[in-house]
């Protein structure tokens, strides 16, 4: 498979509209490859790819794979019986995993890979934007759009390539970065990892892929990250830089001061203190920015210039993205779907709202397996909101698990003291939420599924 990854002059992407796949397709199209692909439905991303010259079909069929295809690119989400995948195997066309294709694109560049259970997309985006602001023309591949469809990837003329490194299917073992960030290490992706030990082993393998003389930037605050540091400490030709608020951090966060929807961050780095603005709210985003700063410095980017440039990052679509305001109510979209992310986003929003209004949430659980494992923690996180509505589980790639429904989360939330109700009708949700909201409130649409589509409908109801 690895050898095939280098034959990307005429690639066909199955599921080309997905966040990870569309970015690679875009970079290859800009580099002059003859790109084709298919996706389940029309989307802004598909239109953006067609505008770059890609041939994209809607729906999956064997005849979508063009004659002359050099390789067929798949992600872990593509099922084995997909007709295009079957056609590729019958025709002897090499099948390449998305991660192999990304590894091939990074070849010959100074790679910076961002890993961790949470915060990867934000931190990768912060680096992409700030390095671009400094005129370093980085290439990047991110799991979310910066500001517009198709902005999840870029082919830059500079020597740096910043990539989000996904642990969910162990695909981050394919990369060989000069600098790697590990933001945190927690149990998630229950379909692929049976235990915390398996997750540590997976991250250790990733750290082992850092080029000799390269740098690991790792959190000093998260217990999982500290355990990983203990496990890899003493490896030859590996520089370790710890970051965080902990007293023993190499790059230390001295303070994070909330200023509405922004924060002022002060860090101790390289023997001096540096204060800069992070243009998104919340302590966890400030810490992501400090990890980005440390990684850039490890690549030789001056700290003061990079710190200033980090202030130009204003967010990723779906990561606390303001969708609009109507009737005095702000509607914000959050991709948070793991309890740690949910709690962090709710804490950030609570800080931004202050005492002026309430925080309301409509939460759509993502995956039956995740709900089965983490319903209690999800319920506890929802208790941080003033009131919440929980939708049915978004199945994505999974089949239902008997007895696993949103009620598990609702029961846990009530035990934690939450004001929470179920809503089984997606279509009815906007009117229900608009009816709950009062001027000064902040309403969060939360989850990794299609709950993001409710924002505009809620704003319509409010106005």
Closest CA to 192 of 15, 369, 349: 369
Handedness of CA 302, 304, 305, 308 (dihedral sign): positive
| 3-state SS class at 216 | strand
Residue 225 host element (H or E): helix 223-232
Residue 379 contacts residue 338 (beta carbons within 8 Å) = no
Cross-strand bridge partners of residue 259: 262
Three-state DSSP state, 206: helix
Crossing angle, helix 368-382 and helix 407-415, to 10 degrees?
Answer: 30
Q: 122-145: string of b/e by CB count within 10 Å (b at 16+)? A: bbbbbbbbbbbbbebebbbbbbbb
Give 425's contacts (C-beta < 8 A, 6+ positions apart).
none
Both tokens assigned to 173: 């073992």
Rounded Cα–Cα distance for residues 8 and 312 (Å):
34
**CA distance linking residue 384 with residue 360, whole number of Å:** 10
DSSP element (H, E) containing 387:
strand 387-390
Identified catalytic residue from 45, 69, 117, 121: 121
Active site residue 122: no
3: left (phi over 0), alpha (psi -120 to 50) or beta: alpha
Helix (H) or strand (E) holding 308: helix 303-310
Q: Residues 6 or more apart from 202 whose CB is under 8 A from it?
A: 167, 170, 173, 193
Can you tell me whether residue 131 is helix, strand or coil?
helix
Which of 164, 167, 178, 461 is flagged as catalytic?
164
Q: Is 121 a catalytic residue?
A: yes
Q: Is 314 a catalytic residue?
A: no
Which listed residue (26, 34, 120, 323) is catalytic?
Answer: 120
Q: Measure the CA–CA gap between 462 and 437, rounded to whole angstroms.
A: 8
Q: Which residues are catalytic?
A: 120-121, 164
């Amino acid at each position: 498979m690895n050898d095939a990854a280098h034959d990307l002059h005429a690639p066909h992407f199955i599921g080309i509209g997905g966040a990870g796949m569309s970015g690679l397709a875009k970079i290859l199209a800009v580099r002059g490859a003859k790109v084709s692909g298919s996706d389940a439905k029309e989307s802004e991303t598909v239109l953006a790819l067609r505008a770059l010259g890609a041939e994209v079909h809607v729906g999956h069929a064997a005849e979508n794979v063009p004659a002359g295809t050099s390789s067929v690119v798949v992600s872990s989400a593509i099922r084995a019986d997909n007709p295009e995948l079957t056609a590729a195997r019958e025709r002897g066309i090499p099948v390449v995993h998305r991660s192999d294709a990304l590894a091939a694109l990074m070849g010959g560049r100074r790679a910076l890979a961002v890993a961790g259970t949470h915060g990867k997309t934000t931190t990768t985006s912060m680096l992409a934007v700030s390095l671009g602001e400094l005129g370093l023309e980085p290439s990047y591949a991110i799991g979310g759009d910066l500001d517009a469809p198709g902005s999840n990837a870029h082919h830059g003329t500079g020597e740096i390539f910043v990539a989000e490194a996904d642990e969910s299917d162990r695909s981050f073992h394919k990369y060989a970065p000069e600098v790697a960030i590990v933001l945190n290490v927690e149990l998630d992706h229950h379909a692929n990892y049976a235990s915390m030990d398996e997750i540590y082993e997976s991250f250790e393998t990733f750290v082992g892929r850092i080029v000799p003389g390269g740098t690991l930037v790792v959190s000093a605050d998260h217990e999982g990250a500290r355990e990983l540091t203990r496990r890899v400490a003493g490896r030859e030709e590996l520089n370790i830089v710890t970051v965080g608020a902990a007293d023993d951090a190499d790059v230390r966060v001295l303070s994070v001061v909330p200023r509405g929807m922004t924060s002022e961050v002060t860090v101790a780095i390289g023997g001096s203190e540096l204060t800069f603005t992070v243009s998104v709210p919340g302590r966890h985003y400030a810490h992501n920015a400090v990890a980005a700063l440390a990684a850039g410095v490890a690549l030789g980017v001056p700290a003061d210039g990079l710190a200033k440039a980090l202030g130009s990052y204003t967010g990723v679509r779906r990561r606390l993205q303001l969708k609009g305001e109507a009737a005095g109510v702000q509607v914000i979209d959050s991709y948070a779907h793991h309890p740690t992310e949910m709690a962090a986003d709710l804490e950030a929003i609570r800080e931004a709202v202050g005492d002026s209004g309430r925080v309301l949430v409509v939460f759509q659980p993502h995956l039956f397996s995740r709900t089965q494992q983490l319903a209690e923690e999800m319920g506890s996180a929802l208790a941080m909101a003033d009131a919440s509505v929980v939708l049915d589980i978004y199945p994505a790639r999974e089949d239902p698990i008997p007895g696993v429904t949103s009620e598990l989360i609702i029961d846990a939330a009530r035990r934690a003291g939450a004001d929470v109700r179920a809503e089984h009708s997606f279509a009815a949700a906007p009117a229900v939420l608009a009816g709950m909201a009062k001027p000064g409130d902040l309403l969060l649409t939360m989850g990794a599924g299609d709950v993001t589509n409710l924002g505009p409908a809620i704003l319509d109801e409010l106005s």
